[in-house]
Amino acid sequence: MTQTSRARKFGLAVAQMGPVHLADSRQAVVKRLVEMLREAAARQATFVVFPELALTTFFPRYWMTEEEAVERYFERAMPNADVQPLFDAARELGVGFYLGYAELTADGRRFNTAVLVDRAAKVVGKYRKVHLPGHDDHKPDAPFQHLEKKFFEVGNLGFPVWNTQDINVGMCICNDRRWPETWRSMSLQSAELIVLGYNTPSWNIHWTEPVHLRTFHHEIVLQASAYQNAVWIGAAAKCGSEDGFHMIGSSMIVAPSGEIVARASGEEDEVITAQIDLDLGTTFRQHVFNFAKHRSPDQYRLIVERTGAGEPLPLPPEARG
Ligand code: CDT
């Protein structure tokens, strides 16, 4: 990794979670999160990334009604009594965090959400997942469901960036990481660190994708996105076999050079840390990815004008053969 002379260091931890089974209580899960928060603090981290939907099993794999899902898996407030011990530990240790959970709003709307919590345990930001994968219908012949499109609405908060703990931080969630617009929306707001949690099933129910590609695509999008946007990335999995349904691990911290600087080794609860040098991102933003100097948004209009791929545009006369 390229080194800069003026280091602006930030203690980052990623807390990977092993499986959360259907029978596991919220209290037991939060105890695991608190233990990892303490380990991260002992290793000089001041911010911890926890996974997507960290408090329960990955419930969109099960067919059920929306009412059943709300009853068992959604949070009506954040924090709430079950999660309060995590907030108490964060305040005691002076460690901020990212936490993914299923959000039920006061007016009954459902989102796949993450909160950004500062070192005083105050919620300073909220992100709602934009790129919801899967389907909303029952697929009885599939080995499991992926019902995010049934249980959640598309996020309505955009891709904000917050200044907290003296750095610019952005958030996204799981499938968002596969889409270049996610990262660029935040790097155009000078994000220095982008954090995410994920639950990535090892098998794709939509086609027979070789299992090794699941991890390969996870790595390639994180490494390319870190480099192309000159940001640090912290990505936390919930992984291993939840009641027989396996999900990939490979939680990691990726530098703006695209290099992986820390990576989880197993599929259980595991804390990885790095003292990240924020000036490394500045270096990349000043040179190859100096956006103000090199971008040409007028040439990229289709990116915001079209959703799906359509016909080629009429060629400008000088582009014709
Ligand atoms: N949780 C989540 O977003 N999972 C998706 C599965 C994609 S299936 C095509 C992911 O991007 O990992």
How confident is the model over 138-157, as pLDDT tens digits?
Answer: 999 999 999 999 999 999 99
Q: What value does the mean pLDDT of the chain take? A: 97
Q: Tell me if 4 is assigned to some domain.
A: no
Nearest CA residue ID for atom 10, ligand 1: 175
Question: Would the pLDDT of 5 be above 80?
Answer: no
Q: Find the 148 Cα to ligand 1 centroid distance in Å.
A: 9
Q: Find the 132 Cα to ligand 1 centroid distance in Å.
A: 8
Q: Tell me if 313 is assigned to some domain.
A: yes
**Residues designated catalytic:** 52, 129, 174
Q: Find the 172 Cα to ligand 1 centroid distance in Å.
A: 13
Task: Assess contact for 245 and 57: CB atoms under 8 A.
Answer: no
Enumerate long-range contacts of 177-181, CB under 8 Å, 24 or more apart.
177/218, 177/221, 177/222, 177/225, 177/235, 178/131, 178/217, 178/221, 179/131, 180/225, 180/228, 181/303
Model confidence at 174, pLDDT cuts 50, 70, 90, reads very high
Model confidence at 7, pLDDT cuts 50, 70, 90, reads confident
Residue identified by tokens 């291993």 is 240
Q: Which of 200, 222, 247 to mutate to test the pocket of ligand 1 (most atoms within 8 A of CB)?
A: 200
Q: What confidence tens digit (pLDDT) does each residue in 26-49 have? A: 999 999 999 999 999 999 999 999
Nearest to 186 by CA among 114, 127, 274: 127
Q: Is the CB of 215 under 6 A from ligand 1?
A: no
Nearest to 160 by CA among 131, 118, 189: 189
Helices marked H in the chain — which ranges?
Answer: 26-42, 66-73, 84-93, 148-151, 180-187, 211-229, 278-286, 291-294, 302-305
Nearest CA residue ID for atom 1, ligand 1: 199
| Domain range for 29 | 9-319
Q: Is the CB of 198 under 6 A from ligand 1?
A: yes
Q: Find the 4 Cα to ligand 1 centroid distance in Å.
A: 35
| DSSP single-letter state for residue 299 | G
Instruction: Give dist(CA 64, CA 254) in Å, integer.
Output: 37
Q: What is the DSSP string of 154-182?
A: PP-S---EEEETTEEEEEEEGGGGG-HHH
Question: Would the pLDDT of 2 be above 70?
Answer: no
Q: Is the CB of 178 under 6 A from ligand 1?
A: yes
Q: Tell me if 2 is assigned to some domain.
A: no
Q: Is the CB of 204 under 6 A from ligand 1?
A: yes
Return the structure tokens found at 283. Answer: 């270096």
Residue identified by tokens 């280091």 is 7
Question: Would the pLDDT of 116 be above 80?
Answer: yes
Task: Assess contact for 64 and 90: CB atoms under 8 A.
Answer: no
Quick one: what percent of the chain has pLDDT higher than 90?
A: 96
The pLDDT assigned to 207 comes to 87
Q: Tell me if 152 is assigned to some domain.
A: yes
Model confidence at 1, pLDDT cuts 50, 70, 90, reads low
Q: Tell me if 3 is assigned to some domain.
A: no
Instruction: Give dist(CA 43, CA 108) in Å, integer.
Output: 40
Q: Rounded mean pLDDT of 5-15?
A: 88
The pLDDT assigned to 192 comes to 98
Q: Tell me the pTM.
A: 0.97
Q: Is the CB of 133 under 6 A from ligand 1?
A: yes
Q: Is the CB of 144 under 6 A from ligand 1?
A: no
The pLDDT assigned to 118 comes to 98
Q: What confidence tens digit (pLDDT) does each residue in 68-88 have? A: 999 999 999 999 999 999 999
Nearest CA residue ID for atom 11, ligand 1: 175
Q: Rounded mean pLDDT of 185-198?
A: 98
Q: Is the CB of 202 under 6 A from ligand 1?
A: no
Enumerate long-range contacts of 298-306, CB under 8 Å, 24 or more apart.
303/181
Q: What confidence tens digit (pLDDT) does each residue in 275-292 have? A: 999 999 999 999 999 999
Q: Find the 177 Cα to ligand 1 centroid distance in Å.
A: 9
How many domains, the chain? 1
Question: Would the pLDDT of 23 be above 60?
Answer: yes
Q: Find the 207 Cα to ligand 1 centroid distance in Å.
A: 13
| DSSP single-letter state for residue 62 | S
Q: Is the CB of 251 under 6 A from ligand 1?
A: no
Say which amino acid occupies 69. Answer: A
Question: Would the pLDDT of 6 be above 60?
Answer: no
Q: Tell me if 1 is assigned to some domain.
A: no
Return the structure tokens found at 46. Answer: 């001041």
Q: Find the 175 Cα to ligand 1 centroid distance in Å.
A: 5
Residue 182 maps to which CATH number? Answer: 3.60.110.10
Vertex 188, ends 185 and 190: CA angle to 5°? Answer: 120
Q: Tell me if 149 is assigned to some domain.
A: yes
Enumerate long-range contacts of 116-123, CB under 8 Å, 24 or more apart.
116/162, 116/164, 116/169, 116/171, 117/87, 117/90, 118/164, 118/165, 119/46, 119/90, 119/91, 119/94, 119/95, 119/165, 120/91, 120/94, 121/87, 121/88, 121/90, 121/91, 123/78, 123/79
Atom number in ligand 1 closest to CA 52: 1
Instruction: Give dist(CA 207, CA 103) in Å, integer.
Output: 30
Return the structure tokens found at 307. Answer: 């959703």
Q: Tell me if 36 is assigned to some domain.
A: yes
Q: What are phi and psi of 219, to 5 degrees?
A: -65, -45
Atom number in ligand 1 closest to CA 175: 11
